[in-house]
Each structure stands twice: as structure tokens, then as C-alpha cells.
Homo-oligomer: A and B are copies of this chain.
């Protein structure tokens, strides 16, 4: 039992942080909780990680580095599409990644590599560097496999156990279109939940189509 404690290392710290986030969410990743899991005192972590920002950067880096490569020889569209969907697949096992990516500012190695690869797809597609630049902005967060949306919570402050239909009816004349959308979605899908995968693919395809048209019309910035 004396030797039960493997020595800490940056890899071990980051891996444990990822595991902790996977299990209990990003908010559960505090330096203290992480240290406890590693059977170590909180300050010990600071020998392997500069501060919490650095830890989160490293967590994102670790997952992004594991993104699957697109199939060799795919054309630019298929390649970029595959890259985005590979990123999305990782979100399944790491739900925290979404919020973590949204709050990161530093571009670490794997992050830059992912961005560079996506830009490379566009370059391969015959876009000008200027176009590539702006299209990367348009692509935005979806490069990381998700469509960021604010206010994705409940339709409104829906009382727990309240009659949804009553709520809808009450809101109908104030927010007719929102209610119509909700009703339509409920008719198409149990509970009216949205298929995030389908949303992403639609957005992605609209993006790819728009990009191609931009290129074909010779668009340039300024």
C-alpha cells in the first residue's frame, strides 16, 4: 500500500480531470475535487498545471487531439464534413466539451491543427485564402461539432408538471410563431425535442453550398 500511489504527471492529472468531467460534469472539476480523486493535496496539482485555465486548455487539447481523421482521398466537401462530424462524435462521450470549448481562448497545438486541417480542405477546394478566412468565421463554432444556441432550456419558465398544452395556449397570441414551431415539432417527434445531429448536418450542408456559391461567384472581402 506504500507504493499504491503512482507519481502524478500532467497526463495523469488531465486524464483524471477528463474522467471527472465525463462523470460529474464540468462544474465538478474543481482543483480540490480533482486532487481528492488523485489522492493528493490540491496544491500538488500546481506542479503539473499552471492554473485552472491551463488545466481546462489541456482537457480540451486532449480530446481534440483524438478526433478521427477524415478518409484519405475524400474531396474537400466530404473531408470537411467528416472533420466536423468527427468532432461532433466526441461530444457524445464528453458533454462538457461544448462549454469548455466555448470558454477557451488559447489555441493549443491540436486545436490549431484541427483549424488548419479544415482550412486546408477549403484550400483544396479551390477557395482563395481570403475566402477561406471568411468562411472559417462563418463556420464558427460548428467546426467543433456543435451549433451553439442560447436559451436552449425550457420553452419558457415551464412549471414542473404543468399542462404543456395549457402553457402553449396561454402563450399563443403573445408568441404565435414560437408556439406554432413547438406544436409542429411535437407532432413530428415525441416530446418535441430537436434532433441536434440533423440540425448540425443541415447547417453544415447550407454552409458548404453557400461556400461553393461564394467561390463560384468570385467573392472577395472589402
Contacts and interface: CB of A to CB of B under 8 A. Distances in A.
Interface of A: 101-102, 104-107, 111-113, 115-116, 119-120, 123, 129-130, 132-134, 136-138, 140-141, 144, 147-157, 171, 174-178, 180-181, 184-185, 188, 194, 198-199, 202-203, 206-207, 209-211, 213-214, 221-222
Closest 8 CB pairs of A and B: A105-B153, A119-B177, A206-B210, A116-B175, A137-B199, A138-B203, A129-B184, A133-B181
Given A112-B171, A138-B147, A206-B211, 6 more contacts: A101-B150, A101-B151, A102-B150, A104-B150, A116-B174, A134-B199
A181 B129 contact: yes
Contact of A107 (B133, B155, B210): B155
Contact of A194 (B137, B149, B171, B199): B137
Given A133-B184, A177-B120, A151 B106 contact: yes
How many copies of this chain does the complex contain? 2
Contact of A209 (B140, B181, B213): B213
Contacts of A185: 133
B132 A199 contact: no
Nearest to A150: B101
Nearest to A124: B177
Contacts of A184: 129-130, 133
Contacts of A151: 101, 104-107, 111, 115
